[in-house]
Amino acid sequence: MIIVTKIGVTEDEVDQIRERVESAGLRTHISRGETHTIIGCIGEEDRLRRLPLLSLPGVESVHPVMKPFKLASREFSAGPSRVPMGDVEVGGDELVVIAGPCSVEGDDMLRATAHAVAAVGARGLRGGAFKPRTSPYAFNGMGTRGLEILARARAESGLPIITEVMDTRHVEEVAGHADVLQVGARNMQNFALLTEVGRVHRPVLLKRGMSSTIRDLLLAAEYVMKQGNMKVILCERGIRTFETATRNTFDLAAIPVLKRETHLPVIADPSHAGGRRDLVAPLAFAAIAAGADGLMVEVHPTPDEALSDGDQSLDFQTFGDFMNRLRPFAAAAERTLAEGAPRPVRAAV
């Protein structure tokens, strides 16, 4: 249930409303817009129906949230949410590009990649320290050493780092190094992991599962948000269908549907969606036109020698050209795109 306040509501009136709701055993969440404040009520709504909420000073209206995902629903927020990622916000006017290799393969390659992508406007550095692979014999990442390499690359380049966490046992360790915790497609419905990353209150990038519906994705986000962590970024990365021409089928319609259903920012991963480097640019352009708040792109110094996902990775020159080609699309969508100015050195998390 949500309570919409009157224009000009005072802080004392908001506090009084919250106290009344919390006295009934529910939790509250405040979202402030330009004119109204929305008070989200989390818990057993039947308890609220017995309270004369409309008679409280400052209350304009009371509405039930009928969707199964309460905290993630569009109605629960006074406007689109912006999630901090280092010194930038995902979900604002800027089209945020996150770039880097599928896997951290070594210190030199990651440092070179960080500087190369930062120089042309990337705002975040991706790279997997722990990697889920279909085959148990494939390269599974460098683990703790990979996290340390990511942290050094951040200190040099100034880029916040985004890396995947695969196991509840690793959440604290990954959170101690990363700016954003990624929950990958294979773990989207790992509810124990979602609950744990919600507890650490680090921003979470949640990828849609390859066989998951939009409703499934939003309910997965709800698991994170139910722990009090509202800093969730959704990622459309393609789904599995009967089509074999591409690695996955890019569900372009999911982006505007999510923008309608939720206040959370939505980014696209054209690298995994197509599975081929020649498809990255056209899928990215389509995602921007559909309303995506950002992109996640795989970049590697020498893609043909990459230990994972080389076929879908761009080299430095191609990524620079790609960023230049993005600019007119970003402008048409009324978005800005970073110019790649030198960044200050940032301390480790």
pLDDT digits (tens, 9 = 90+) for 212-259: 999 999 999 999 999 999 999 999 999 999 999 999 999 999 999 999
Helix (H, G, I), strand (E, B) or coil at 33: coil
Domain that holds residue 183: 83-332
Domain total for the chain? 2
Question: Could you tell me if residue 291 is inside a domain?
Answer: yes
Question: Could you tell me if residue 347 is inside a domain?
Answer: no
Do 284 and 163 lie in a common domain?
A: yes
Question: Could you tell me if residue 343 is inside a domain?
Answer: no
Do 21 and 101 lie in a common domain?
A: no
pLDDT one-digit tens code per residue, 39-66: 988 887 777 777 888 989 999 999 888 7
Among 72-81, 126-135, 225-234, the minimum mean pLDDT is found in: 126-135
Do 197 and 89 lie in a common domain?
A: yes
Do 184 and 293 lie in a common domain?
A: yes
pLDDT one-digit tens code per residue, 250-292: 999 999 999 999 999 999 999 999 999 999 999 999 999 999 9
Residue pair 191/226 in contact (Cβ under 8 Å)? The answer is no
Do 299 and 211 lie in a common domain?
A: yes
Do 214 and 90 lie in a common domain?
A: yes
Do 141 and 228 lie in a common domain?
A: yes
CATH number at residue 45: 3.30.70.1140
Token pair listed for 53: 């909420």
Do 56 and 91 lie in a common domain?
A: no
pLDDT of residue 349: 43
Q: Where are the alpha helices (DSSP H) in 187-266?
A: 191-200, 214-225, 254-261
Do 39 and 111 lie in a common domain?
A: no
Do 210 and 325 lie in a common domain?
A: yes
CATH number at residue 88: 3.20.20.70
Do 206 and 319 lie in a common domain?
A: yes
Do 121 and 229 lie in a common domain?
A: yes
Pairing of strands 37-42, 88-90: unpaired
